[in-house]
Amino acid sequence: MPFVASGDPASDAARLRALADGYGLDAAQRRDLPPLIGAHTRGMFDLLSQASLTGEQPWARHYAEGHGDHWKAAAEYIDRHASIWARSLL
């Protein structure tokens, strides 16, 4: 379920709720989901960013090709809207 910086938070909330419903997540899992999405997305940006400094492939190449920009923007979007999604899940 990719998030993009130009997404619609309300639409993404509905999609996230459908995903949680489909997997039968309980209340604790639903509460944990938005922070996990944020951590995963930020982790991908961090991996690409660090690799751009060390030259570790293929991550350094992906960063140079613009993937770092995508993951950073996605992480920022998630950070801005995680509370909306948390409310929609419970």
State which residues form the domain around 84: 9-17+26-89
Query: For residue 2, is it within any domain?
Result: no
Query: For residue 1, is it within any domain?
Result: no
Q: Which two tokens stand for residue 9?
A: 């938070």
- Report how many domains make up the chain: 1
Q: Which residue has the tokens 């996230």?
A: 16
Neighbours of 23 (CB within 10 A): 10
Please report, for residues 21, 48, 54, 62, the alpha-carbon distance to residue 15 in angstroms, rounded to integers and kept in the order given.
10, 27, 37, 28
* CA gap 1, 33 in Å, rounded: 12
Query: For residue 51, is it within any domain?
Result: yes
What is the tens place of the pLDDT at every residue in 13-65? Answer: 999 999 999 999 999 999 999 999 999 999 999 999 999 999 999 999 999 99
What is the pLDDT, as a whole number, of residue 7?
84
